[in-house]
A and B are shown apart, each in its own frame.
Chain A
Amino acid sequence: MGYRPSLWTELTPEEILEYWSLLTAAQRAAFLERLTGDSLEGLPTAIKDPLKSHDTLFDRYAGIYHAFGCLSRHIETALDERREAEAETRLLGAKYDSLPSLLEKTLARDDADPIASYVTLLCARQLRDDVVGRYRDDFFKTRKKGLAALDRLLARLPDLKNALPLSDDDHERAAFLDWYESAFLRPARVPGDRP
């Protein structure tokens, strides 16, 4: 890809989520086109307004979950098809479109919506646990360092939880959030599943 490296570092969390959700190469190209503005004789131009994404659902719950669903499928497919490097890049890597990159940007944001940040990390935690549960032996055995780095990011989850602007009643708050996380992380029942 012939784009400036800095372009990628400037991706917002919403743009990373959107990027995960792109379905085709053409869409990815259009995505980049949008980020870079009009091309000049086929050459990339400077980003006109890199932080201002067009209005999408990726700053909302629906977009976050959808993107994580896409990421999950992407990683599982890569692992099932023995494209482990690709899975590693997305799940543990440090590139612009990796999960750690998303988490770092989410955690670093001052003006973030606390609930959106919280559920983003919950999704990440769920994804991490799912993948670790399925591929513990053959994939993570050799990537303990990367996993530890991811876990360090996920360890910030309690901070986000504590920052949620709920009522001050400690007992009630704790009980609610305890139930909440459990309900959030428990897989949903889909029609046809056994009860």
Chain B
Amino acid sequence: MKTVSPEFVDQLINFAPTEDARKMGFADGQRDGTVALFNMLQRNKVAYLADEVGMGKTYVALGVMSLVRYLDPHARIVVIAPRENIQRKWVKELKNFVRNNWRIVGNRVKSLQGEPAWDPVHCGTLIDFVREAMLSADRDFFLRMTSFSLALKQAESRLRLRQRLFKELRWVNRRTLAAKTPETFRDAFGSALNAGFPDADLLVVDEAHNLKHGYSARGSIRNRTMGLAFGHPSGRDTAGEQYRPRAKRLLLLSATPFEEDYAAIQRQLDVFGFGDAKLRDPDDRHLVSVARLAMPDVTEHEKRDIVGQLMVRRVSSLRIGGEEHTKNMYRREWRQGGYERHDNPMRLDDPRQRLIVALMQKKVAEVLQDERFNSSFQIGMLSSFESFLETVGSSSRRRRKDDDVDEQDRDPTFDGAQGRDADEKQGIDTDAITGVVTSYRSRFGRGLPHPKLDATADAFAAAFDTGEKTLVFVRRVRTVEELAAKLDLRFDNWIRTKMLKTLPDRLGPAVERLFEQYEQERARRPEEQAGRPSAPLVVDAIEPEPDELAEDRAADDLDEGGSESFFAWFFRGAGPAGLLSGAAFQKNRLSSQGSVYSTFFEDDYVAWLLDRPADVLTDLATQVHDERGELCASLRDRAYYLFRALNTRAEGYPRILVFNAYQRAALERLQELGGDRGEQARVVLEQAFPDVASGTRHPPAGFPQPDDSLGITTFFTELVKQPALRDQIWPEDASPDFQWRFRRREQRRTLLSGLARLGASYIDLYLLAIRKLPSFDLRAQTESSAPQTFAREFVGLLLEQQGHTQGLNAFYELSQAAATFDLLLAVNFPDVETAPLSTLAAKFGDTLQQQVPVGRMHGRVNKRLVRQFRMPGFPLVLASTDVLQEGEDLHTFCRRVVHYGVTWTPSAMEQRTGRVDRIGSLVQRSLDDQPRPADTEWLQVHYPHLQDTVEVLQVRRVLRRLNRFLQLIHNKKGDATESDSRINTAREMLEGLEDIKPPEGRLESAFPVLPGWLQGSLGPDAVRSNVALDQDHLLAHLEALWTTLLDRFSIRRLRSANERMLRGFALMRRNDLLQRDSESPGTGEKEFSIELRSQAAGDATLLRCYSHVGRLDLKKPALLDDLYRAQRDFGFVKVCVRREATDQTDNISVEGDLPFHPETTQVGELELLIARTVGAAARLQRGLMPDEAED
């Protein structure tokens, strides 16, 4: 049995790969956690990682997974995530971890391409898992818990599942699956799945507390199916011979592993057959059984010792004012329910609002006093606490269809332990409240105000001034809509005030008319006429299948604006007709290829490389030793060739396309100059303008002159003239590596451009543009400032905002994004670091488009909205049901969580707060290692409620349970348990209302990493040095072969930025490489590259040869036929097609692979690979695009 030491792991994993990560100081703890858990798994087969929310459990688990793979290259790992969004997050984080944290490139954990050596497979359903495992079991599989929640009530559902499974597992005994009742079918299906599941060397279960009710015949379908599919011992008697345990080792993850007793741990382990696991301590002296956790007569002390043998929990802290602060110390809880003064009750000053509260509480009291309810209600289930609108009752009618998912799992709004009574789900007070609300509307013609909701909206409306974000959790879908609608109205008011304040007085009446028009259109919305905010009546939270998600995304891409808020109506989509709205200015000016504003957010690369001289063309002419006039003529020839080659469909000479053509042409001239500047120009060309074939073509007279595209004024060329502002908005990253610096510069520029065009900054940009115009009439746009002037004005505005104003404005948004650029890339755009620069605008734009000041989340996770919430600017408030409770990180710019609708379980409450309390959070960034902050800078946790209502009883129960949970998981004395989710008002009304304070003092984990688990048999020397050298051997051998090849054949070597890649031009004689000493002339020259790669899911290394053919539009069917025939003829090599997102053309190339070994691969094999690949590419090019082949 191999166990590892911290020193061993240090050789393999860097838990702090960046300066920021080092500063946060989590790395050693994550390393120790990884070591301890790995050693526990080696010794006991089970381990539980229970770090506090937000401490990077995923990364510790990825560390364990990678160690398993490193020490056993063929180990198979299966991960079960709770939901689809978290399942995708795991795959994303695996790639990030391998790329950034795993140190050793090889063919085990990190491939030569820097990717996971074993492909991660996202399984949408259990049948997918079975199929994928049979196709290739040598991959890592990512499942989700909801897949195990099968819909079995209807016979048709069972039949459909049966047929799907038989399609994949034809040998399964059909008779066993003919079970007639849902229960017998469930068991038979689970056992049959076991036959199709591969053995997992490590099974990782994320958010395992969801399984706290354990495995039993009367328990949930999900737990039972999961247990049987992984071979729970209870299935042995009835299942077939193939039935067996599928998980060799089990790692559970949850920050909230139990609510109020340790038996929940045993039940979770038992789902996978580890319910009576025997645990040895690190010294191998004591043996304890997990089964004792479920025994009532075992003392809490003994249970804690048992849990200590399998659990690791680390407690985070921030050092503030020289003192360590654990969560309970840096969280500022508002337990009395108010928003204004800390820990004071919610104040209602308006007597009418107080009367309404009194009235509604009266109706609630009458319902509770009905003998049917016996003065009792379920926590979180009274609808009047949240909203007066009709609640979830009719929602099921429009529920998204998801055949295989069980009803129970479609409704995570309510915790599984709570009642399933239909009236309770609807809210037992709903009918009573609806009666009052209807009567009020009919009498007064407007909706009845909801004091708590109004107080909440008022409390967070200030966010529009400050830019502070707030995350609000509610329990009911309708509340999301109602709260968001109220905040939208407040935002409308904010933007109206801002417009009136910013624009000249002469535009004031026009602004008022705009708002009148908007109000009229808003009033025509059906939901307004019905007195309800727009709300698809959907109960949370059905996870759509991936294809549905894709459809959703595609549908989302078309921004149609909307009238739910002035921002959506005026700044997004098409905008109001006939007006120079924000939307129209965007479309006609900034986004139009031909507009003089189209280059507003571009950078002039040539000017930059020449150190921004006053006259770029003259300076360039001097640099390249040419006359200015001749230079201009030659640049026009080059630019026109490039313009035509790359823009076959453009009509006229759109400004942005001509600008790009001239930039490329001038960069080519600089590249030819050689030297440092030439090398920089080459890098810019390679990075910003890939796949460029140079050439010249005589332009027609109308083709613009170069001085319109070189030495121009843009926002960025103006910004660099203001160093202090530039440092805050577009800082330069220091590095001797020019390519890296250029990429960073472009990544930052593209992000800033996106924010300025699509985010909150756009309001300032638009108002700046409009303030010189006489009206909002669309025709007035012809009087816009020249772009040069506008660029200067925008920079001037930013300077003014930098110096004089605080709160939400363009400077705030842009400077915050710049300051947290690395963090934003890590959480939102992990692939930007390596992505081609030409794809960045689309990548950022996909996230930044369709912004809303107030976000709504229910039904499913809207990934775009989540990413936007992680950035400065919109949305400032995000109202969500429990759909965002787990998995999504929302911490980067938010330090305020509002539990508007409380949930019954402490784990759910902690998970919610944990969304903003994580490594790298705003709170951590602003408080760690700082002096004592202002009260508003702590992490604010609100439990809003009205003290006059029975809601106070519900909040008090939840707070007591939260305290009890904290006491159990930390070294604090525990209170008595309160395991009933039902409030009996008759009993609890008689209890006092003494304050329930959060635990005080520093928390210490009850389950820290014990020193014994850090002792391992493998030390630093055990990291096999030859693995590290493998890559060096490979590269050395490749270089040797390449040198031989260059000696023998007419190959011109090109530079390559990638050390694993070699590039060159090969002179061909028909289909062979031309020998260097050949007297025959070549028939053509073709560019190619060769690159070392790891084989997918294998130990071997491949050498791939790539040769570009050209761009085609494959919508023409004949072309596809040609490609198919070519592939058939070529045999050895592959014809590849990659769709270009930027111009919707298809990039055609030829690729060939060769197994590569540093000791056996010969130059002849390399020659054959290149000859076949390049020869095929040349033939294809001649056949499909003879003009290009000629060039």
Contacts and interface: CB of A to CB of B under 8 A. Distances in A.
Given A57-B993, A60-B948, A190-B372, A183 B359 contact: yes
A191 interface: yes
Interface in B1010-1038: none
B359 to A, nearest CB: 6
Given A188-B432, A190-B366, A56 B361 contact: no
Contact of B354 (A63, A115, A167, A176): A115
Interface stretch (A1-9, A16-24, A40-48, A147-155): A16-24
Contact of A191 (B426, B989, B994): B426
A190 B436 contact: no
B989 A21 contact: yes
A79 interface: no
B351 A166 contact: yes
Nearest to B370: A190
Interface in A114-173: 114-116, 119, 123, 164-167
B1055 to A, nearest CB: 76
Q: Which of A167, A180, A184, A191 has the most CB of B within 10 A?
A: A191
A95 B677 CA distance: 101
A86 to B, nearest CB: 20
Given A60-B948, A179-B440, A183-B436, A22 B990 contact: yes
A47 B1160 CA distance: 101
Contacts of A167: 352
A167 B351 CA distance: 9
B692 interface: no
B985 interface: yes
Contacts of A61: 357-358, 361-362, 948-949
A62 B366 contact: no
Main secondary structure of the interface of A (DSSP, over half): helix
A190 B432 contact: yes
A88 B895 CA distance: 58
A56 B992 contact: yes
B423 interface: yes
Interface string A99-119: 000000000000000111001
B989 A63 contact: yes
B647 interface: no
A115 B351 contact: yes
B248 to A, nearest CB: 51
Interface in B363-377: 363, 365-370, 372-373, 375
Contact of B359 (A54, A165, A175, A180): A180
B1116 interface: no
B450 to A, nearest CB: 15
A23 B351 contact: no
Interface string A1-41: 00000000000000000100111000100000000000000
Interface in B423-450: 423, 426, 428, 430-432, 434-436, 439-440, 443-444
Nearest to A193: B431
Contacts of B947: 60
Nearest to A63: B989
A65 B373 CA distance: 16
Interface range, B side: 35 or more
A61 B992 CA distance: 16
B1119 interface: no
Tell me whether chain B's interface is mostly helix, strand or loop, or mixed.
helix
Contact of A179 (B351, B362, B439): B439
B986 interface: yes
Contact of A175 (B368, B426, B431, B443): B443
Interface in B322-365: 351-352, 354-355, 357-359, 361-363, 365
Most buried by A among B368, B948, B994: B948
Contact of A66 (B436, B989, B994): B989
B352 A27 contact: no
A58 B947 CA distance: 11
Contact of A21 (B361, B950, B952, B986): B986
B952 A62 contact: yes
Most buried by A among B426, B987, B990: B990
A176 B448 CA distance: 12
Contact of A23 (B357, B368, B986, B992): B986
B1038 to A, nearest CB: 75
B452 to A, nearest CB: 13
B116 to A, nearest CB: 53
A57 B989 contact: yes
A81 interface: no
A54 B368 CA distance: 25
A18 B992 CA distance: 11
B109 to A, nearest CB: 58
B362 A184 contact: yes
Contacts of B370: 190
Given A57-B989, A179-B440, A183-B436, A190 B367 contact: yes
B362 A192 contact: no
B435 A189 contact: yes
Contacts of B992: 54-56
B435 A21 contact: no
A164 B351 contact: yes
A188 B436 CA distance: 9
Given A54-B992, A183-B440, A188-B432, A23 B365 contact: no
B149 to A, nearest CB: 28
Interface string A45-82: 00000000011111011110110011011000000000
Nearest to B352: A166
Contacts of A193: 431
A190 B1155 CA distance: 75
Given A62-B950, A66-B986, A190 B365 contact: no
B860 to A, nearest CB: 29
A69 B371 CA distance: 11
Nearest to A66: B989
A62 B426 contact: no
A89 B1155 CA distance: 100
A115 B356 CA distance: 10
Contacts of B439: 179, 182-183
A170 to B, nearest CB: 15
A27 B361 contact: no
B372 A191 contact: yes
A116 B993 CA distance: 19
Q: Quick one: which of A18, A56, A72 has the most chain B CB within 10 A? A: A56
B1062 to A, nearest CB: 75
B948 A62 contact: yes
Nearest to B994: A55
A62 B948 CA distance: 6
Given A62-B949, A190-B367, A115 B358 contact: yes
Which of A61, A72, A115 lies at the interface centre, i.e. has the most chain B CB atoms within 10 A of its CB? A61
Given A18-B990, A55-B994, A66-B989, A179 B948 contact: no
A190 B373 CA distance: 10
A189 B367 CA distance: 7
A192 B358 contact: no
Given A18-B990, A188-B435, A189-B435, A65 B365 contact: yes
A69 B355 CA distance: 19
Contacts of B366: 65, 69, 187-188, 190
Given A115-B358, A188-B432, 4 more contacts: A56-B992, A69-B369, A165-B351, A186-B435
Among all A-B residue pairs, the 4 with the closest Cβ atoms: A65-B365, A188-B432, A188-B366, A69-B369
12 contacts: A23-B990, A57-B989, A61-B358, A62-B953, A69-B365, A73-B369, A115-B354, A116-B358, A123-B362, A165-B351, A166-B351, A192-B423
Interface of A: 18, 21-23, 27, 54-58, 60-63, 65-66, 69-70, 72-73, 114-116, 119, 123, 164-167, 175-176, 179-180, 182-184, 186-193
Interface of B: 351-352, 354-355, 357-359, 361-363, 365-370, 372-373, 375, 423, 426, 428, 430-432, 434-436, 439-440, 443-444, 947-950, 952-953, 985-987, 989-994
